[in-house]
Structure 1
Amino acid sequence: MIARIWSGESPLWRLLLPLSWLYGLVSGAIRLAYRLGLKKAWRAPVPVVVVGNLTAGGNGKTPVVIWLVEQLQQRGLRVGVVSRGYGGKAAQYPLLLNAQTTPAEAGDEPVLIVQRTGAPVAVSPVRRDAVEAILAQHPVQLIITDDGLQHYRLARDKEIVVIDGVRRFGNGWWLPAGPMRERASRLKTVDAVITNGGVAKAGEIPMRLRPGLATNLRSGERRAVSELSNVVAMAGIGHPPRFFATLAECGVTPQQTVALADHQALTRTDVQALVKPGQTLVMTEKDAVKCRSFAQDNWWYLPVDAMLEGEQVEKLLQELLTLAR
């Protein structure tokens, strides 16, 4: 229903317009207060790069963060990552992640970033605290924030926005009548726009998500996902249909697809109930970090990597390297 309202297919969005106007008024006033200096943003002693979005829901932002970290690491840069830690609840904040940190504590995305990149990652509702926690223990040269475009309390040196190239901005209205956290005109003020799927417009960096080999959660065995049979597909991400479409592109027609809420907590009982004898469960890598501790032999995940194209990609990376050195 939310997808139909935000896309404009359902006329119910009109009923939510008063709340959207209020949302827009409040968020605009907050941003204006920082622009006018009425509120002061904290500036870190190292450059800060925000990777965020203008809309609610999954746009492929975390794969972009992972891609950026890996690209900069390959070029010799020491990078740290901070996040709000949605879906997790730590005993105290800031929380600096380690190999034993669970998604229940830090959220699924920060744990995934640590596992994929090995970079220092800290979570806190106050991004400044997370930045200081990293700097206290790691000599990083640059901080990337996973989300936080609207967290103006943290000053930033570069802003990168990831948009869904298929859904774009829906009906264009603020939450809750539409998907927008800020209006599309905000794109004029950011440093780079990365378009995940669809057709990138002039000035945008095209991106696609490339699936890797399916990986067994228990054994670590890897094989083409098309070799798996009797598949049940599970996705607890911001936009589950994207994962199901990826499976279809790989030649997999699931017997059942299960769309879960983004950051939804998962238990052994809940996940086991999705699969009947003889079936194979295939999930996203983000779901896998929450299921690994109680995984079964027939559970697999499909990792994806962000692939960015065009001349602007190297230009963006060089700008970040120059910023940090």
Structure 2
Amino acid sequence: MSGLAERLQAAWRRRGLTACLLWPLSLVYRAAWAWRLAGYRSGRRPSVKLPVPVVVVGNVIVGGAGKTPTVIALVQHLQSRGIAVGVVSRGYGRTLPPGDDDGGLEISAGSDPQHAGDEPLLIHRRTGVPVFVGRDRVESARRLLRAHPQVRLLVCDDGLQHLALARDIEVCVFDDRGVGNGWLLPAGPLREPWPRSVDLVLHTGQSPAFAGYRGERRLADHALRTDGSQVALATLAAMTGSRTRLIAIAGIARPQAFFTMLRERGLVLAETHALPDHADFTRDLPPIAADSTLLCTEKDAAKLWQQRPDALAVPLHFTLAADFLARLDRLVDAQLSSCVRVA
């Protein structure tokens, strides 16, 4: 994380001098947001309704709050119920391959992470469902439905503020930051005013700031090699010593949380490297001794393995609370029962 980003994150935790100086700019942001929202509500800006229900999983604060683990867990739950699901995502940080008009690229397990985006690629690899990425989420969704007519429900990864895509169910995700100081950008971390009406509020951290449902994050008991084979974290912990140096690297929104979880599993980390979210490992990878054992997040693995095929990826498991799933099922069932898709 850059120095400026770190200072802003610190300023957004309270209503101190920096936040107060930026507060007049947040009024401009609020006015622009209100004008945009009014455009969709009045019909001046079109909001496209798709022929299948759409569940949007997003957040109202800047930075990751656990959306991707939530999408994976939510999709896996719907799959367990026999519901055919597809996912659309912007694919933040990706580069366009030749011929890609940014209107919807289908992801495969072998997609280049630079073109697919690290999060959409992880979602596809973990769930196997159709995943399309593109700046235009509406067109991405249309292409997905044309290519996979069996899909009965779409999940939009992020996009809570992408109002051009009409949604039937909204899930707003928070981590332990809550809403920070409660102010809009740039005086605070909020992308839009909060509170506002959503169907489900989900907390992914340990200390929720307000009411909502809970989810539990934990590391898997193993790390993955490039070939899919596993090595137990307990084995890595036991190997740690003068001859085995464990180095952890993470290009996620909160890399320190990953490092802490590794240490809590008994791993002694000789070094940690916190990179920007969606880091480009061809450019941002720091010098690391070839004889070290390198650990990374599963999100970073596809990109890092291109540079360090010996790295080990530690999966993150996210469990949604039973009361959250019960409420979600009621909302989904109501939408599916009232939706008649026209091919």
- Asked whether the two chains share a fold, i.e. TM above 0.5, the reply is yes
Measure, in 2, the Cα distance between the counterparts of 1:277 and 1:9: 45
Aligned to 2:57, the other structure's residue is in SS state: strand
Match of 2:258 in 1: 243
Matched, 1:81 2:81: no
Contact 2:177 2:209 in 1 (8 A): no
Gaps of 5+ in 2: 1-6, 338-343
**Which of 168, 171, 180 is the matching residue for 1:160?**
171
Measure, in 1, the Cα distance between the counterparts of 2:225 and 2:143: 31
Match of 2:327 in 1: 315
Question: How many correspondences in the alignment?
Answer: 319
1:238-279 deviations in Å (ceiling 9; x for gaps): 122221222122222322221111112112x753x4422542
Matched, 1:41 2:47: yes
Q: Equivalences for 1:217-296 in 2 at 5 Å? A: 217-228=225-236, 229=240, 230-267=245-282, 270-271=284-285, 273-296=286-309
Q: Give 1:143's aligned amino acid.
A: L
**Which of 213, 234, 252 is the matching residue for 1:205?**
213
Measure, in 2, the Cα distance between the counterparts of 1:307 and 1:125: 29
Match of 1:193 in 2: 201
Shift of the alpha carbon at 1:37? 2.8
**Which of 318, 323, 343 is the matching residue for 1:306?**
318
Contact 1:82 1:146 in 2 (8 A): yes
Matched, 1:56 2:23: no
Shift of the alpha carbon at 1:192? 0.2
Q: Give 1:285's aligned amino acid.
A: E
Q: Give 1:124's aligned amino acid.
A: G
Contact 1:42 1:155 in 2 (8 A): yes
Q: Equivalences for 1:3-22 in 2 at 5 Å? A: 3-8=9-14, 11-22=17-28
Shift of the alpha carbon at 1:203? 4.7
Q: Give 1:233's aligned amino acid.
A: A
Measure, in 2, the Cα distance between the counterparts of 1:238 and 1:183: 22
Shift of the alpha carbon at 1:127? 0.8
Shift of the alpha carbon at 1:311? 2.3
177-186 vs 196-205, greater mean Cα deviation: 196-205
Q: Give 1:161's aligned amino acid.
A: C
Contact 1:50 1:147 in 2 (8 A): yes
Match of 2:162 in 1: 151
Contact 1:86 1:106 in 2 (8 A): no
**Root-mean-square deviation over aligned CA pairs:** 1.9
Contact 1:217 1:295 in 2 (8 A): no
Shift of the alpha carbon at 1:290? 1.2
Shift of the alpha carbon at 1:282? 1.0
Measure, in 2, the Cα distance between the counterparts of 1:178 and 1:226: 41
Matched, 1:123 2:138: no
Aligned to 1:168, the other structure's residue is in SS state: coil
Shift of the alpha carbon at 1:96? 1.4
**Which of 179, 182, 185 is the matching residue for 1:169?**
179
Measure, in 1, the Cα distance between the counterparts of 2:132 and 2:45: 25
Contact 1:50 1:160 in 2 (8 A): yes
TM-score, normalising length from structure 1?
A: 0.92
**Which of 148, 152, 165 is the matching residue for 1:138?**
148
Shift of the alpha carbon at 1:310? 4.0
Gaps of 5+ in 1: none
Shift of the 201–270 alpha-carbon distance from structure 1 to 2, 3 Å rule, reads closer
Matched, 1:32 2:38: yes
Contact 1:215 1:300 in 2 (8 A): yes
Measure, in 2, the Cα distance between the counterparts of 1:178 and 1:232: 34
Give identity over the alignment, percent.
40
Measure, in 1, the Cα distance between the counterparts of 2:234 and 2:64: 25
Contact 2:169 2:331 in 1 (8 A): no
Measure, in 2, the Cα distance between the counterparts of 1:222 and 1:10: 47
Measure, in 2, the Cα distance between the counterparts of 1:56 and 1:130: 24
Contact 2:251 2:276 in 1 (8 A): yes
TM-score, normalising length from structure 2?
A: 0.87
